[in-house]
Amino acid sequence: MNRKFNICTGLKYIFAACLLSCALVSGAHASVSSIIIDAETGDVLSSSNADSLRYPASLTKLMTLYITFNALDKGLIKFEDKLPVSRNAANRSPSKLGLKKGETITVRDAVLALIVKSANDCATVLAEGLGYSEENFAKTMTEVAQELGMKNTTFKNASGLPNRAQKTTARDMALLGAAMYHHFPEYYKLFATKKFTYNGRTYYTHNHLLKSFEGADGMKTGFTNAAGYNIVTSAERDGHRVIAVTMGHNTIRQRDTKVASLMKKGLQKLAMSDHIEAPNLYANADTHTYGEPSLIEAATVADEAPASDVWAVQIGAFSNYAKARNYAISVKKQLKMAGAEIDIEPAQKGSAVIYRSKLVGFEKNEADKTCNSLKKSNKSCIVIASSENQQLVMAKNN
């Protein structure tokens, strides 16, 4: 992902003006807040109470991790560095690893403990290691939030433990999630970690979407009595990525059901708006189609038949190159076709340019099988004979 992504302009709808006078609401007594955005463009796909002030709970740790990743990226710290555990860190209330004063923990273990276990003691260890004191670190957290456009967010500690002055909104948290994804793609992958072992004990993620929602790969959950159940999460399907936030639920089940629904609808919306189905593209393209040839035509076809490995499966067309390529990558991964190559072909469609997404390098029978497999998973495709006369054969259903 391009580091030059301009978070302040790319997420053009995230920075909509918020009502600064809105009351801070608690999870048990207020309407739920939610938002889902296109991670690539920042377009808001849907939202509800997205600007209501909320207690972030452990979503706070996303900013702690963002600053930690920035320090790692700049070489200020290393994953192998050992950080001391202070009395303040050791005395943090659960959730925690149970670190003791005077012990040390590596940056890597502290980061994984935040992601998987949501360990409050490790949040304080990182804060003190980077900011000398947790109070000083929290000021930096708020400053970074403002720089990212999180205008309604104030942090008071590194963990999200209760503090009446610590507040945020669903919209601001979506912005932080997008910044995390775009600015630190190599570290973002850590959010997909499902379990973490420390001192012989294995901890499992609180993010159930990693197991239950296809394409989900992070980020963070949170809970306090005042905040309710919160989550920031992201998922990618068919070349589209969304970031979803929902806050203030009364139960884990309600939270997970809501965010899964948000992501499903958001991904469907992106697929409908950007993906031109392959059969429709075929009908509109300047390409000759044929069914059963006549005897004379059959001889010509036989003479001009393509080599055995120059068949392609066209899987769709998109409004830009990146989405066409990302979709091809996801399909290739889905079908486990390491040998297939990706070909993105620009084509004129009226006054616009579209990008045909293709997998190439098949023998004819392999191309047919591939297309049929895609159709079984409700994906459209066509088989293309890549000969000089550019004949196009529609793949048949089983």
Provide the pLDDT confidence category of residue 390 given band limits of 50, 70 and 90.
very low
Rounded Cα distance between 226 and 228, Å, is: 6
Closest CA to 266 of 244, 281, 288: 244
Closest CA to 229 of 1, 41, 59: 59
Between 291 and 178, name the one with better pLDDT.
178
Rounded Cα distance between 116 and 173, Å, is: 19
Tell me what the mean pLDDT of segment 195-205 comes to: 97
Judgement on whether residues 239 and 379 belong to the same structural domain of the protein: no
Residue 1 placed within a domain: no
Judgement on whether residues 321 and 222 belong to the same structural domain of the protein: no
Judgement on whether residues 133 and 261 belong to the same structural domain of the protein: yes
- What does the pLDDT read at residue 11? 41
Q: Provide the strand spans (E) within the chain.
A: 33-38, 44-48, 82-84, 104-106, 195-198, 201-204, 216-224, 228-237, 240-249, 311-318, 341-349, 352-362, 382-385, 392-393
Between 355 and 268, name the one with better pLDDT.
268
Residue 224 placed within a domain: yes
* Neighbouring residues of 111: CB distance < 8 A, sequence distance ≥ 6: 65, 68, 79, 126, 190
Domain that holds residue 154: 7-274
Tell me what the mean pLDDT of segment 18-37 comes to: 63
> Is the model's pLDDT at 305 over the cut of 50?
no
Closest CA to 347 of 313, 324, 370, 330: 324
**With contact defined as beta carbons under 8 Å apart, do 96 and 120 qualify?**
yes
The set of catalytic residues is 58, 61, 118
Could you give the number of structural domains in the chain? 2
DSSP 8-state secondary structure symbol assigned to residue 283:
H
- What does the pLDDT read at residue 309? 57
Q: In terms of residues, how long is the chain?
A: 398
Tell me what the mean pLDDT of segment 4-27 comes to: 41
> Is the model's pLDDT at 26 over the cut of 70?
no
Closest CA to 118 of 80, 150, 159: 159
Helix (H, G, I), strand (E, B) or coil at 166: coil
Residue 131 placed within a domain: yes
Tell me what the mean pLDDT of segment 322-348 comes to: 82
Rounded Cα distance between 357 and 321, Å, is: 9
Mean pLDDT over all residues of the chain? 82
Residue 282 placed within a domain: yes
Q: Give, to the nearest 10 degrees, the angle between helix 170-183 and helix 60-73.
A: 20
93-134: pLDDT as tens digits? 999 999 999 999 999 999 999 999 999 999 999 999 999 899
Judgement on whether residues 260 and 200 belong to the same structural domain of the protein: yes
Judgement on whether residues 284 and 268 belong to the same structural domain of the protein: no
Domain boundary, last residue among 219, 247, 274: 274
- What does the pLDDT read at residue 341? 87
> Is the model's pLDDT at 16 over the cut of 80?
no
Domain boundary, last residue among 246, 274, 302: 274
Domain boundary, last residue among 274, 309, 333: 274
Q: Tell me the helix, strand and coil percentages in the chain, rounded to 5.
A: 40, 25, 35
| CATH number, residue 389 | 3.30.70.1070
| CATH number, residue 36 | 3.40.710.10
> Is the model's pLDDT at 289 over the cut of 50?
no
- What does the pLDDT read at residue 385? 64
Tell me what the mean pLDDT of segment 291-315 comes to: 46
Judgement on whether residues 35 and 164 belong to the same structural domain of the protein: yes
- What does the pLDDT read at residue 159? 98
**Out of 50-64, 260-274, 344-358, which region has the weakest mean confidence (pLDDT)?**
344-358
Tell me what the mean pLDDT of segment 283-296 comes to: 31
> Is the model's pLDDT at 301 over the cut of 80?
no
**With contact defined as beta carbons under 8 Å apart, do 214 and 196 qualify?**
no
> Is the model's pLDDT at 307 over the cut of 80?
no
Q: Provide the strand spans (E) within 62-168.
A: 82-84, 104-106
Judgement on whether residues 312 and 243 belong to the same structural domain of the protein: no
55-69: pLDDT as tens digits? 999 999 999 999 999
Tell me what the mean pLDDT of segment 179-203 comes to: 96
Judgement on whether residues 260 and 353 belong to the same structural domain of the protein: no
According to DSSP, the residues that pair with 55 across neighbouring strands are none
> Is the model's pLDDT at 84 over the cut of 80?
yes
Judgement on whether residues 236 and 284 belong to the same structural domain of the protein: no
- What does the pLDDT read at residue 28? 46
Ranges 45-54, 277-286, 287-296, 388-397, most confident:
45-54
Judgement on whether residues 103 and 16 belong to the same structural domain of the protein: yes
Between 355 and 203, name the one with better pLDDT.
203
**With contact defined as beta carbons under 8 Å apart, do 36 and 243 qualify?**
yes
- What does the pLDDT read at residue 331? 84
- What does the pLDDT read at residue 398? 40
* CA-to-CA separations, 326 to 60, 222, 356, in angstroms, rounded: 31, 31, 12
Helix (H, G, I), strand (E, B) or coil at 201: strand
> Is the model's pLDDT at 303 over the cut of 80?
no
Judgement on whether residues 321 and 202 belong to the same structural domain of the protein: no
- For residue 181, what are its two tokens? 């994804």
Provide the pLDDT confidence category of residue 367 given band limits of 50, 70 and 90.
confident
Residue 2 placed within a domain: no
Using omega within 30 degrees of 0 as the cis cutoff, is the peptide bond preceding 380 cis?
Answer: no
Residue 398 placed within a domain: no
Residue 104 placed within a domain: yes
Judgement on whether residues 325 and 225 belong to the same structural domain of the protein: no
* Type and span of the H or E element at 182: helix 170-183
Residue 373 placed within a domain: yes
- For residue 100, what are its two tokens? 């003791």
* Neighbouring residues of 387: CB distance < 8 A, sequence distance ≥ 6: 304, 305, 306, 310
